[in-house]
Chains A and B, each alone.
Chain A
Amino acid sequence: EVQLLESGGGLVQPGGSLRLSCAASGFTFNNYAMSWVRQAPGKGLEWVSALSGSGRNTYYADSIRGRFTVSRDNSKNTLYLQLSSLRAEDTAIYYCARDPNWNSGERGYFDFWGQGALVTVSS
């Protein structure tokens, strides 16, 4: 059974940093691209970042480029998102999601999702 479990969310001040983790199980992790998708309060879904199966190719939404860094440790079956220079508008639930392909770039779709980690940016 495919499982994705996010952790690391919390309350952080504007300008602060946070690292989210997504522990994957039930599939061969390095065979799949992975993405982060977020949902701000009362809003729809927004794709944030993607990473190829090898981890060599990274992709970012314009809204977070230069502030967020995606990475993965295939030996630990874990996906990460380092969030820096956080703003109030980054407040959201952050979902990790599996792309059924190895490297879709910015054009993936998602066959499994985690339940999300809440990030709140507030002073």
Chain B
Amino acid sequence: EIVLTQSPGTLSLSPGDRATLSCRASQTITSDYLAWYQHKPGQAPRLLIYGASSRATGIPDRFSGSGSGTDFTLTISRLEPADFAVYYCQQYGWSPGSFGQGTKLEIK
């Protein structure tokens, strides 16, 4: 099974800051099949990015995904209060699909 390691575990930033979240895979991800999700307590997870860099429907362009191979990044260009949440990466290039352990983005 592919292991995804997300860093940092917790990121403390202020509204208006730029956030950079990392996801590293234990093996090359086939066809850049990497997704990012936002998850707030008590809510349904929300798909942000698929295919490493494609934004899901309705996701603002403040969110961008990049990377290939084993190293992927989610960037949020200008943080808004609603962006503070836990973010997960997921690979779906290898069976079974697997998630990272999450990065908590908290208000500084």
Residues of A within 8 A of B96 (CB): 47, 59, 61-62, 106-107
The majority secondary structure among interface residues of chain A is loop
Give how many B residues have a beta carbon under 8 Å from the other chain's beta carbons: 26
Whether the pair B43, A109 counts as a contact (CB closer than 8 A) is: no
Within 8 A of A (CB), among B36-59: 37, 39, 42-47, 50, 56-57
A111 contacts which of B33, B43, B56, B93 (Cβ < 8 Å)?
A: B56
A-B contact pairs, 16 of them (CB 8 A): A44-B88, A44-B102, A47-B96, A47-B98, A59-B96, A62-B96, A95-B45, A106-B95, A106-B97, A107-B92, A108-B97, A109-B33, A110-B45, A113-B44, A113-B45, A113-B46
User: Which residues from chain B sit less than 8 Å from chain A, CB to CB?
Assistant: 33, 35, 37, 39, 42-47, 50, 56-57, 88, 90, 92-102
